[in-house]
Every structure is written in structure tokens, then in C-alpha cells.
Amino acid sequence: MRAGLWPSPRPRAPLAASTRPASPPPGSGPDSGSEDGALLGRISRLSGHLVVALVILVVIGGATRVMQAGLACPDWPLCYGALLPGRQMNLQVFLEWFHRLDAFVVGMALLVMAAASVLGRRRLPHWLPWIACGALALVAVQGGLGALTVTRLLASSLVTAHLAAALTLLALISAVHQILRRQAGRHPSPHTIRQGDLPGSPAGKLELVPIGQRFWRRLWRLALLLALALVMAQCLLGGWMASHWAAEQCLASGQGCNLLALHRRLASGAGASLLLLAPLGIVLPGQSRSGRALAVAAGALVVLQIALGVVTLRLGLTVPAVTIAHQLGAALLVALLAGQFGLSLAPSAPSLPAPGPAAVLPIRS
């Protein structure tokens, strides 16, 4: 065959590096962000349910004292040697039994929260596992104090310590819930990126807080802590007074009125400070909508709490429902103030533009 009859083959081009984008490492893709946000959202919802359960726990504990049901179950942790004492069941036994059941549910929920926080610590705020484990340890102490309260026949010091641990746990979980709720709302969608989330956009930059606004935030946190301390001290004084039956003795025979007078004076100071904090929480620079709502709720609850306290004394502690409602107001105040403090610690959400053709960019794989 003659040379040149067939065209010579073209030289092959050297192999070039692939221009396809490298696959992201595990745990760094958009699905990972979705999983992170989902885990944070689930723990946030769990903490919200825990706040409700803890408020119920404190109120039922107060109701057992009002109804003189603290020793309705003579043994611990069972009640009359059974999980459900059907034969001995009455109102007093039910209150003490339900109080222990709620405490068990709270303990199990905190165990789940601590386990989820430790196992998913790489996708969660670094402080959450420590706080969750601390809350779990605190509820264990709370359970031990509850057992001693029964076995030591309602010793006043143990009753007050039991209440102090419950209020501390309520305040801690309420603050954690508001922080997690705010941070869960900051997670972007895994399918879209807003312009405000891009590194070069204004909302993607670090939040620059003016010096004056930063000062007011710190002052607001300090005021919230002081108000929370006053309310908790008032609750503990009320618990100490109740364990000594001081109000009943004062109203019946005029004895033991010193504790009641101190309780009323401290209530006046706490009420005045809270009524002052409520409008400040509304007009505070940089305050979020949730913060304003909590401030309004706390102010309204203070007015209701003062009215319930006056009615309780006027009725001579003869209407248990009014006394229990007074205790419910105190527990809600602790939760609201602690929630406001947690909200003040949470980073403010960035102001993102409304979704639109120019504001939302699809993520292409």
C-alpha cells in the first residue's frame, strides 16, 4: 500500500486534570448543614418541652405541700411498694405520685439531651454538651434531695434545698432553650443561599455592635440577673416559710409573722424592679421581637402575681387553687427572666433580604 494513502493519525493531547469539582469531604456538604440544623432544632424543641415539664414539676411540688401530701407516699422511689398504687390512690397520693412521675420524665429527657449533645458535639455549640451534662448531674442531685425529703420527714432545710435545685434547673434549661431557639433559626436552607449569607455581602460580615448599644446590652444582662436572683430568693423564702407553716401561724395566732413580713417586703422590691424592667426590655436598643414579647409577658405576670399574693392572704390560705396559682406565677417568672437572659446572650439573627430572583442563588452540584 502506498505511503500517504491514509491520513496520518492525529497526535493525542496530553491528559488534563479533571475540571469537575471535587466532591466535598464527608460532613461538609449541604446535607451536613441540613443535618446540623435538624439536630439543633430537635434539641431546641426538647429543651422547650423540658421547660414546660419543669414548671409543672415545681407547681405540683408546691401543690403537695399545700394539700399536705408530702408524705402521702411513705416510701421512695416507689409508692406503697408499687409503681402505681391503685388501692391507696386518692388526691394526696396522686399528687405525690404524679410529682415523682414528672421528675422521672424530666430526668429521662435530660439524659436524652445530654447523650445527643455529646454524640453530636461536632455539629452543635461547643458549650452545649457541658451544660447538658451539668443539668443531668443537677437533676440527679434533685432526685437525691427528693428522696431525703421523704425519708427525713419533710425537714425544712431539705425542702428548701429541693426547691432551690428545681428552680436552678428551670432557669438553666429556660435560658438554654432561648439560645438554641435563636441559633436554630439562623441555619440557612441546604438548597438555597441568600446573598446575605455570602462572604462578601453585608449580612455575611461579622456583626458590629456600637459601643453604646454594647453597654446597654451588658447592663440589661446584669439587671436581668439581679431580677432573677431576687425572684428566686423570694421563691426560696416562700418555701422556707411554707415548710415552717409561718403564714398559717401568723394568720391564726399572730405568731411567726417575721417571715411573712420579710416575704412581703422582698416581694415589694422584686415587684418594683420587674415592673421597671418590663418597659426597658421593650425600648432596649437592638432588642429582638422575642425579647420584647418576653418582657411584656413578665410585666403582665408580675401584676397578676402581686394580685394573687394579696388575694391569698385575704382568703387566709383557705383556697388551695389560689395558693397554687401563686406558685405557678412564681415558676413562670423564673422561666421568663431566665429566658430573657439566655436571649440576651444569643447572637442576633442577621437581617437577610427577602427571597427573590436576585436574592436567592441555587446551589448547583
Q: What DSSP assignment string belongs to 109-140? A: HHHHHHHHHHHTGGGS-TTHHHHHHHHHHHHH
Of 242, 281, 276, whose CA–CA distance to 259 is shortest? 242
Q: How far apart are CA 45 and CA 47, in angstroms?
A: 5
Q: How far apart are CA 207 and CA 210, in angstroms?
A: 10
Does 236 lie in the same domain as 167?
Answer: no
Q: How far apart are CA 310 and CA 255, in angstroms?
A: 20
In contact, 109 and 39? CB cutoff 8 Å: no
The three grid cell numbers given for residue 218, joined into one nine-digit string: 451588658
Residues in contact with 102: Cβ distance below 8 Å, sequence separation at least 6, in sequence order: 53, 56, 57, 60
Assess whether pLDDT exceeds 70 at residue 354: no
What pairs with residue 193 in β-bridges?
361
What is the domain count for the chain?
Answer: 2
Q: Is residue 202 part of a domain?
A: no
Q: How far apart are CA 256 and CA 246, in angstroms?
A: 5
Does 83 lie in the same domain as 135?
Answer: yes
Instruction: Look up the domain containing 124 and give its range.
Output: 33-187
Does 47 lie in the same domain as 176?
Answer: yes
Q: Is residue 305 part of a domain?
A: yes
Length of the chain (residues) = 365
Does 148 lie in the same domain as 258?
Answer: no
Does 226 lie in the same domain as 166?
Answer: no
Residue 204 confidence (pLDDT): 38
The three grid cell numbers given for residue 292, joined into one nine-digit string: 420584647
Residues in contact with 264: Cβ distance below 8 Å, sequence separation at least 6, in sequence order: 309
Does 162 lie in the same domain as 229?
Answer: no
Q: Is residue 6 part of a domain?
A: no
Does 241 lie in the same domain as 155?
Answer: no
At 55-91, the pLDDT tens digits run 999 999 999 999 989 999 999 989 999 999 999 999 9
End residue of a domain, out of 187, 207, 239: 187
Q: Is residue 54 part of a domain?
A: yes
Query: To the nearest whole percent, how much of the chain has pLDDT over 90?
Result: 52
At 247-256, the pLDDT tens digits run 888 888 888 7
Does 227 lie in the same domain as 175?
Answer: no
Give me the chain's average pLDDT, please. 82
Does 125 lie in the same domain as 235?
Answer: no
Exposed, middle or buried, 321 (CB in 10 Å: 0-12/13-18/19+)?
exposed
At residue 231 the predicted structure's pLDDT band, cuts being 50, 70 and 90, is: very high
Q: Is residue 7 part of a domain?
A: no
At residue 32 the predicted structure's pLDDT band, cuts being 50, 70 and 90, is: low
Does 100 lie in the same domain as 42?
Answer: yes
Q: Is residue 113 part of a domain?
A: yes
Does 228 lie in the same domain as 182?
Answer: no
From first CA to last CA, the distance across the chain in angstroms is 53
Does 173 lie in the same domain as 227?
Answer: no
Exposed, middle or buried, 21 (CB in 10 Å: 0-12/13-18/19+)?
exposed
The three grid cell numbers given for residue 207, joined into one nine-digit string: 456583626
Q: Is residue 266 part of a domain?
A: yes
Q: Is residue 200 part of a domain?
A: no
Residue 250 confidence (pLDDT): 87
